[in-house]
Every structure is written in C-alpha cells, then in structure tokens.
Amino acid sequence: MDNIQPLVGLVAGQVVPFGGDRLATVSQSLADAFRPGDRLVVVQDSGSLLHIPAAEFALVRSAVARAVEAFALLAAVSDGQVSAFFDLFAAALEDDDVFALVAAANDLDVQSAAARGRSTTRLQLSQRMRSDMIDGLRVWRDTETPRQQVVEHVRHAGWSVTAERAPLGVVGFVFEGRPNVFADATGVLRTGNTAVLRIGSDALGTAEAIMRYALAPALAKAGLPDGCVSLVASPARAAGWALFNDHRLSLAIARGSGEAVAQLGAVARQAGVPVSLHGTGGAWMMVASSAEAQRFRDSVFYSLDRKVCNTLNVCCIVADRAADLVPLFIDTVRAAGAARGTTARVHVVDRSAGHVAAPLFAEMVRVDRAEGGVDEPFADIISEATLATEWEWENSPEVSLVVVASIDQAVDLFNRYSPQLTASLISSDPVEHDSFYDRCDAPFIGDGFTRWVDGQFALNRPELGLSNWEAGRLFSRSAVLSGDSVFTVRLRATVSDATTHR
C-alpha cells in the first residue's frame, strides 16, 4: 500500500498505538538503540515495545528457514533413521569423552551464573540429569512412530475416509536454562516435526556444546536433513521475541518464568502462531477432616525435596484438624529444610495466624538465597491474595499455609488464586476424592505427594512442558506435552466406486 513506509528510526516521546484504544511512548533508551533494519514488536496486551536488532532478526530468520526446508525433506526420511538419530544422540551423551566436553562448558555456565547471583539449582548438569537425558532419548528411539497412525476409519457405500496423524511443521522453543530440556525438545522429530531452540542465556554455553559434540553429529550420521534441529546461539531475549514473531512456526512452546513466558505467548498469538506455555506452577495440597496424619506428613515431606513447578506451594488444612495437623505441618516443613541442609519458611494467611504458635513469627532463621544466606523470620503473615505467589526458593523450602472451613472452600481458593496446575487431596473418603476431582480446575489431580507430575516419571515420556489451565484448555495445553503429542490430523479419501458422487 502507498501509505506504508519502512521503519528506519524512533524518536523519544513518539507515541505508538496498541490494543485499539491505547498509546505507548518510545523511551529515550529505545530511540537511541534503534537502527535501520531493526524491528519493533508492539505487544497488544500490554503496550510493551520490544526491540529486535537486525542481527537477532537475521539469525532467527535463517534458523527458521532451514527448519522449514528440513521439514519438507523429513517426510522422505525413514522411521529407522529417526530412531537411529535418538540412539546416536544418547550414545554420544553416554560417551565419557564427549560428555567431558559438555560438562566443561556447563561448569563455565554455572560459574558465570553464580558470579551474577543467578540460581544454579537447575543449571548444573549432574550425572542424574545426564542419565535422565540418555534414558529419555532411548524412550524416543524405542517409541513406535506416531507418523501416519490411523485415528479413525469411516466407511461409506463406494468409498471411505481415513483420519491419520501427521506432523505439524516447525516447532519453536524458548526455555529456561535447564540443559536436559534441550535434549527433551528433540522428541518432536519422532512425530516428523523440526525444531528451532532458544535456551536461556545462563545455559547457552552448555547447549552449544551439546549441539556441537552430540546432537549435530547424531543428525548427520543418521542422515537427517540439516536444519532438523537448530539452536539460536544468542543470549539476547530479543532472539526469543524474533522466533515467536515468525509466522512460519506451526507451534511455539515457552518454558520459564511466568511474566517472560506470558509475554512470549502474546507475541506468538498476535503473529498467528498457536502457543503452549509452561511458565507458572506451584502445587496445592488440601487436607480433609479424615486425613491420616502419617500420610499427610509423608506427602508434605516428599513434595518439598526440590523447587520445580510441581513442588508444594500452598497447603490448606480444614479447621477441625488444625490443632493437630498445623503443628505437624510446621515440623514436616522444618524436616524438609533440614534434609537439604538448610532451614525452611512458612507464609501464613492472616486469618489463619491464630493456628500457628506465636513465637514462630519472631524466630529468625538463615535462608539460602541465590545471592547468599539471608536472615528472615521462620513464619510471616500474608494476605489471602498472596496465595497466588509461587515461591521461587533456591535451597530453603518455602510454602504458604491457610486454614479453611472446608475442602470446598480450599477448592474455591485454588480455582481463584492458583495457576491451575497441580492439586492433591489428603482424605480417606472416596466420595470426597471424586468431588475434589470434579471441582478442581486443573489437569493434574492426586491423593498424595505432588512431585509425581512429570512426563518421564509418570508416563515414561520426556516432557516438553507441563501445561496449566490458567489460560484455558487450548491446543496442546492439557497435562503433559511431549514429542509424540505434537501432531495434527489429515484425511484421506479412498473411492472404490468411481460413480460415487454427491
């Protein structure tokens, strides 16, 4: 159109319309940084002005172009070749000489993150994480290919229709600095998709080493097309924005902190790309009148062994059991901290404070934070609205406590304040469990410890993410998203009677 001009610069104070009825203002720093060839993405939900430098845009555009080309070529690749890739990738990570190179890169990443006061609990590539990656890759090696699996067959007089699973296309990933996710994401090849990956800056060196010494050689030896799996080797957040703003993606998957993931999701949606977001978590546990004390104690203890999205975050105890179960809860949280060689913290909703011994609010404990040890009260008072907070603890467990009148009230709080991910009920009443399952608006419901929520642990499937229902039950948002669940459906008509017509 004649009235469209290229954007070659920005001026401080310049207004930019967004959302149809609001204006954002260009800051001085954005105006100074913007150069001809750069891109500006306006997030229509919030008015955030995202600056994508030309170099980041070109890097991502090239990776996606190679993935698009590889997707077309992958259709001619045999299932045996895909299986060989997973086997070769696993064997490379199992090779001590290869892994030493990856581990050296990871050591540098961990040192750099620690020096910057960043969390390293999920960044360190431990032997357990290495084993889990290898096991996950071999699961995909041994998984029957979902490509062209028949979903439904409908017969008519003179003709029939077959519904078959088919690959989506290019899958874009942006995920936090966890090296194991880098391997898990390759599971989309099992369904015939290709992938473009962008990892958090903390783990970029580790990811580059995995790519160089293990993943890329496995792709080449298996005869898979170049570009099947690409790493966007940039620490800049703008690379993630550029990736999710590329309309050639068939699916965008983001994992990380809630705010960053929500922003990435908004960028993808307005580019017309469906999204699967995995940014918030924190499990809730509801404790009923009929709860067995020992079962409750064990469920709490084994739900606080480390901080991930399925860690116990909020505990709701019915009032008629508060006298015996609140002290047991406090003791168990302390024990969970001691098991990690540290101390724990409890955040108590204001109306429940009377059920907690007063001295606990004055007791000071040493808490491990990413920046080091900090003295904080063992218990503090929070508002009901703070139940929406996910405690991102480093080593010292943190959990919220609220005393409720009933399990129904606990479920109402969960549906209102939680990210709608994981809920567990400790009760001896089967009818109560059925009601709880029906009323809790979440994909993961249990009756004990919360840490079972994991694709590989629960379903023997390396996960791409755990989808909550906070933004609705949309495509690829239910329960565990894994490589073999990234697909679409094609229809094939077979006409046996050529005179068939409408």
Domain with 127 in it: what CATH number? Answer: 3.40.605.10
Domain that holds residue 50: 15-55
458: enclosing H helix or E strand: helix 455-459
Contact between 424 and 284 under an 8 Å Cβ cutoff? The reply is yes
Q: Please report the sign of the dihedral spanned by the C-alpha atoms of residue 66, residue 187, residue 472, residue 317.
A: negative
33 and 70 belong to one structural domain: no
pTM for this one?
A: 0.84
Q: Determine the pLDDT at residue 478.
A: 53
Give me 143's structure tokens: 């998984």
Instruction: Please report whether residue 3 resides in a domain.
Output: no
Q: Please report the sign of the dihedral spanned by the C-alpha atoms of residue 172, residue 175, residue 179, residue 183.
A: negative
421 HSE (CA, 13 A, CB side): 30
260 and 352 belong to one structural domain: no
Domain count, the chain: 3
Give me 462's structure tokens: 């390396």
List the one residue out of 365, 364, 305 whose CA is nearest residue 340: 305
Contact between 137 and 189 under an 8 Å Cβ cutoff? The reply is no
Q: How many residues comprise the chain?
A: 502
Instruction: Please report whether residue 502 resides in a domain.
Output: no
Backbone angles phi, psi at 273, to 5 degrees: -105, 125
Rounded to whole angstroms, how far apart are CA atoms 317 and 439?
17
32 and 145 belong to one structural domain: no
Rounded to whole angstroms, how far apart are CA atoms 480 and 468?
9
Grouping H, G, I as helix, E, B as strand and the rest as coil, residue 182 is helix
Instruction: Please report whether residue 461 resides in a domain.
Output: no
Rounded to whole angstroms, how far apart are CA atoms 400 and 501?
65
List the one residue out of 353, 351, 380 whose CA is nearest residue 365: 380
Rounded to whole angstroms, how far apart are CA atoms 390 and 21?
33
Q: Determine the pLDDT at residue 339.
A: 97
29 and 68 belong to one structural domain: no
Rounded to whole angstroms, how far apart are CA atoms 67 and 69?
5
Grouping H, G, I as helix, E, B as strand and the rest as coil, residue 419 is coil
156 and 291 belong to one structural domain: no
244 and 106 belong to one structural domain: yes
Contact between 384 and 402 under an 8 Å Cβ cutoff? The reply is yes
Contact between 304 and 399 under an 8 Å Cβ cutoff? The reply is yes
DSSP code at position 187: G
Alpha helices, DSSP H, located in 302-440: 322-339, 359-362, 407-417, 430-439
334 and 408 belong to one structural domain: yes
Please, is 358 exposed, middle or buried when counting C-beta atoms within 10 Å of its C-beta (0-12, 13-18, 19+)? exposed
Rounded to whole angstroms, how far apart are CA atoms 389 and 310?
14
150 and 230 belong to one structural domain: yes
Rounded to whole angstroms, how far apart are CA atoms 247 and 276?
15
Rounded to whole angstroms, how far apart are CA atoms 307 and 88?
32
Instruction: Please report whether residue 465 resides in a domain.
Output: no
**CATH assignment at residue 295:** 3.40.309.10
Provide the phi-psi class of 280: left if phi over 0, else alpha when psi is between -120 and 50, else beta: beta
276 and 310 belong to one structural domain: no
pLDDT one digit per residue (tens) for the chain, 502 residues: 567 888 999 999 999 999 999 999 999 999 999 999 999 999 999 999 999 999 999 999 999 999 999 999 999 999 999 999 999 999 999 999 999 999 999 999 999 988 888 888 788 899 999 998 999 999 999 987 777 889 899 999 999 999 998 999 999 999 887 888 878 889 999 999 999 999 988 999 999 999 999 999 999 999 999 999 999 999 999 999 999 999 999 999 988 777 888 899 999 999 999 888 876 789 999 999 999 999 999 999 999 999 988 999 999 999 999 999 999 999 999 999 999 999 999 999 999 999 999 999 999 999 998 788 999 999 999 999 999 999 989 899 999 999 999 999 999 999 999 988 899 999 999 999 999 999 999 889 999 999 999 888 888 877 877 776 665 555 544 577 888 788 888 999 999 999 999 8
Rg of the chain taking only CA atoms, in angstroms: 25
Rounded to whole angstroms, how far apart are CA atoms 41 and 18?
10
Give the E-state strand segments of 83-239 in sequence order: 150-156, 159-166, 170-175, 194-199, 229-231
The letter for the amino acid at 343 is T
Instruction: Please report whether residue 229 resides in a domain.
Output: yes
Rounded to whole angstroms, how far apart are CA atoms 291 and 31?
60
Q: Determine the pLDDT at residue 59.
A: 97
Instruction: Please report whether residue 408 resides in a domain.
Output: yes
169 and 315 belong to one structural domain: no
Contact between 260 and 251 under an 8 Å Cβ cutoff? The reply is no
Q: Determine the pLDDT at residue 117.
A: 84
Rounded to whole angstroms, how far apart are CA atoms 193 and 486?
8
Q: Which of 55, 84, 103 is the last residue of a domain?
A: 55
40: enclosing H helix or E strand: strand 39-42
Contact between 24 and 31 under an 8 Å Cβ cutoff? The reply is no
Rounded to whole angstroms, how far apart are CA atoms 284 and 317?
11
289 and 271 belong to one structural domain: no
102 and 188 belong to one structural domain: yes
